[in-house]
Amino acid sequence: MSQNDVFCNGSVTFTRQCHKDSCEDVGSIASSTVRPETQSCNSLPAKISIAKKMRQTISEIMIFKLLADTVFILVAVSSLVACIGLVVPIVFLANRGLRLGMDSSQSSWLVSAMGIANTLGRVVSGLIASINCVDRLMLYSAVRAVCGILSLFSGLLWTFPLQMCYAIIFGFCYGTL
């Protein structure tokens, strides 16, 4: 690309709003006065110029050939569906505990255990994935399968200890995703 990367240097001097000749107004939001130099940036040619630069930058960054690849589309759609579906047990775990006859403190313990296990799962999976001989894609796929199987059979777990085991294992596995 023809422009400097903001994140590469770690400096904000390369961002557009730090240049004096920029079209962006860096004043406060509360100020109601419009600077004379920013009025020219609202003209149509200036906006078209910015749009062309944005389109050029996006075309340099994006690889649109991936959208024609069937395998990529299948993986993207399945990941979207799985991510949407894996949030459901987290949201409804406390409600399920109440429906199974647990009191509110036990239901809150289920959510807390899942959150703690999620945190531990993130740390442990990061350590496991940093090992060179570990295939990260296989780790991700296996953990996703475990989450799905656990959720499939979680309806059969009617007691507090079984629901606690489910919450801990699911939380740990969800943390690795």
Q: What is the mean pLDDT of residues 44-50?
A: 68
* 13-15-20 Cα angle (round to 5): 70
Q: What is the pLDDT of residues 29-39, one digit of tens each?
A: 444 444 444 44
pLDDT of residue 89: 87
Q: How far apart are CA 11 and CA 8, in angstroms?
A: 8
Q: Are 82 and 28 in contact (CB under 8 A)?
A: no
How far apart CA 4 and CA 84 sit, in angstroms, is 36
Mean pLDDT for the chain overall? 78
Both tokens assigned to 52:
């062309």
Alpha helices in the chain (DSSP H): 6-9, 36-39, 44-61, 70-86, 88-99, 104-129, 136-153, 160-176
Give the DSSP letter of residue 159: S
Percent of the chain with pLDDT over 90: 27
For residue range 67-126, what is the model confidence (pLDDT) as tens digits? 888 888 888 898 888 888 888 888 998 999 999 999 999 999 999 999 999 999 999 999
Write down the pLDDT at residue 165. 94
How far is 73 from 67, CA to CA, in rounded Å? 7
Residue 136 has a pLDDT of 87
Q: Where are the domains of the chain?
A: 6-62, 66-176
More confident: 78 or 27: 78
d(CA 96, CA 168): 15
